[in-house]
Structure 1
Amino acid sequence: MNIKPLNPEASPRAAFGAELRRVREELGMTQEQFAERTGYSPGHISSVETGRKAPTFRFAQKADLAFGTGTKFANLFFDVQASSLLQGFGQYVTQEAKATELRVFEVGIMPGLLQTPEYAQALAMSAVSRGSITKVQAGERLEVLANRQKLLTRKPPAQIYAVLDESCIRRPIGPPEVMGAQLDYLVEVAGLPHVTLQVAPFAMGESRSINLPVYLLVLPDRSVAAYSESALQGSFERDPEAAHRLLTAYHHLQVEALSQAASVALISKVRRELQ
């Protein structure tokens, strides 16, 4: 058998493929056996291992399941996707799926977990039209988002607290029907027993305690992890002191923001203005 040598230093895609082959062979598993466990053809697996094809998030998840490697290949997938996802976001996503509580603050756009498919599609296609990502990367981004949104319906569900800057509900994304449906969906989500939704109005001015997007996770061991973003990079933080500083700022934000009832009323008002 002519086995192609791999160079994991060539690219993140090559590193993923080399690690996939290494773990598979270490477990004594043939490509055919791996194919049976994952539902992919041996030819597809060979192409991923040699770097001819990029892995998908679903492929990475199935590899972790077949190998019993936790989130190893899911994390490696985000290294492959580094050109379309901010640094640190891959680490965050793998922990988000385990969270018992999630606190999010967003500015300008809806939090990914609360986006409708059409709203998310409009954002992704806009990025493609600007040349910041490719159509393939847009598809991967939407796939990752769809997997993340399972947190809303997971059993038992995570407790979700979301504070949206008023700009999130007023900035039009896509045609009016897409934005209208997105606002309708926010009102629907606010009715879920495990979701608390608030709007931080423009009137808060300088009293708003957070100015950039922040995501805070409470994990099953009760530790707190944080992810925050600037325009160019993200940062995933497990240091307890740093995470708790952000948590304190978030608590101040929740106190100053509109109540859920007042927030839903404002969202409904903005929705009527679209008609």
Structure 2
Amino acid sequence: MAAKRGRTGQRLELGLQLRQLREEVQLTRKQAAQGLKISETSLQRIETGALNFRNVSDLRKLLTKYGVTDEEVVNSLVNLNRESSAQDWLTQYRGPLPPELPSFVGLEPEARSMMAYHPTLVYGILQTERYARALHEVQKAVEETTSEQISSSVELRMRRQEVLTREDPVKLHVILGEAALRYPVGGPDVMREQYARLLERSEMEHVTLQVLPFRWGYRATNDFAILDLGDRFPARVQIDSAWNAVSTSDKPREVARFTRRFNALVASALPPEDTADFLHRLEREL
């Protein structure tokens, strides 16, 4: 059974339909927002699935501008806006999340496949609870987070991993830099447990795990992840920066650029069948 569409997916569907309607009548966002109680920036966020309409009259006025007169179409979009405004599982987590991250995380359950490159830390969806907590504790003073926020953030990270164990799991391909596996987090016991988790996940049919070892050409670039959302939504890429900021894009040019980068890393990394030996060797070095 496919995963049930979440609120983020509903907002994205609404936004995509509205963007298509606006482009068909050749209006800019600034022109479309004129006379409404929303700004051009808010409309941009609605079209990308980050927001929905708080005032349904603005939605109806916008559809009138777009020449939508079919009441059935209007009602379907109004209902989609109402449904997407309900709280979903993501809203219960109050940790300090970068602005763009919730929309990306909210789309993970919608994904058909995911690809990620993490050169310095283990990818979040593959982390153990103790590893994730230790990472947050180290950054606690810098990020000025509370123990409650850390617990919420760790719980969210564990919840995100359900995409790998549900009935219709997401296909996952991750490349970890050797630095991500050697960076000591929480002590030897935590690292042994983390290596065991990686071994366990790598044995799943829908998970491919590769290691990019230290050698000439090693690429310590920023983390990035790509979501393939199938035919319904455009693919989306998320890029992390050194300042703990997150940016996302569904522009085909940007997605294609990072897809090419990922494919180049696949060719440079060790083949998946060597992953277990590499992890066992690191475990013996602890």
- 2 CA distance for matches of 1:253 and 1:141? 29
- 1 CA distance for matches of 2:175 and 2:85? 29
Runs of 4+ in 1 over 6 A off after TM superposition: none
Percent identity over the alignment?
A: 29
CA separation of 1:76/1:171 partners in 2, compared to 1, >3 Å: closer, same or farther? closer
**Of the candidates 205, 209, 227, which is equivalent to residue 238 of structure 2?**
227
Matched residue, 2:8: none
CA separation of 1:131/1:91 partners in 2, compared to 1, >3 Å: closer, same or farther? closer
Matched residue, 1:211: 221
CA separation of 1:120/1:244 partners in 2, compared to 1, >3 Å: closer, same or farther? same
Give the gaps of 5 or more residues in structure 2: 1-50, 56-80
- 1 CA distance for matches of 2:90 and 2:201? 32
CA contact (8 A) 1:105 1:163 kept: yes
Q: What SS class does the counterpart of residue 110 from structure 1 fall into?
A: coil
Instruction: Say if 2:131 is the partner of 1:119.
Output: yes
**Of the candidates 195, 208, 230, which is equivalent to residue 183 of structure 1?**
195
**Of the candidates 75, 81, 96, which is equivalent to residue 84 of structure 1?**
96
- 2 CA distance for matches of 1:91 and 1:134? 23
1:204 Cα shift?
Answer: 4.3
1:194 Cα shift?
Answer: 0.4
CA contact (8 A) 1:122 1:173 kept: yes
- 2 CA distance for matches of 1:186 and 1:180? 10
CA separation of 1:177/1:77 partners in 2, compared to 1, >3 Å: closer, same or farther? same
1:131 Cα shift?
Answer: 5.1
Matched residue, 2:62: none
Give the TM-score normalised by structure 1: 0.69
CA contact (8 A) 1:75 1:90 kept: no
Matched residue, 1:105: 117
The one-letter amino acid of 1:194's match is H
CA contact (8 A) 1:184 1:271 kept: no
Any idea what the Cα deviations from partners look like across 1:35-92, whole Å, max 9, x if unmatched? Answer: xxxxxxxxxxxxxxxxxxxxxxxxxxxxxxxx973476459949x95x7222311111
CA separation of 1:108/1:102 partners in 2, compared to 1, >3 Å: closer, same or farther? same
Give the gaps of 5 or more residues in structure 1: 1-18, 24-66
Q: What SS class does the counterpart of residue 69 from structure 1 fall into?
A: helix
Kindly report the root-mean-square deviation, in angstroms, between the aligned alpha carbons of the 2 structures.
2.6
Q: What SS class does the counterpart of residue 97 from structure 1 fall into?
A: helix
Give the TM-score normalised by structure 2: 0.66
Pairs within 5 Å for 1:1-275: 69-70=83-84, 73-74=87-88, 77=91, 81=94, 84-130=96-142, 132-205=144-217, 208=219, 211-221=221-231, 223-232=234-243, 233-274=245-286
- 1 CA distance for matches of 2:149 and 2:112? 29
CA separation of 1:263/1:236 partners in 2, compared to 1, >3 Å: closer, same or farther? same
1:132 Cα shift?
Answer: 2.7
1:133 Cα shift?
Answer: 1.3
1:196 Cα shift?
Answer: 0.3
- 1 CA distance for matches of 2:89 and 2:235? 19
- 2 CA distance for matches of 1:103 and 1:189? 15
- 1 CA distance for matches of 2:189 and 2:207? 25
- 1 CA distance for matches of 2:134 and 2:82? 36
Matched residue, 1:28: none
- 2 CA distance for matches of 1:99 and 1:240? 16
CA separation of 1:272/1:248 partners in 2, compared to 1, >3 Å: closer, same or farther? same
CA separation of 1:170/1:230 partners in 2, compared to 1, >3 Å: closer, same or farther? same
1:163 Cα shift?
Answer: 0.1
CA separation of 1:87/1:204 partners in 2, compared to 1, >3 Å: closer, same or farther? farther
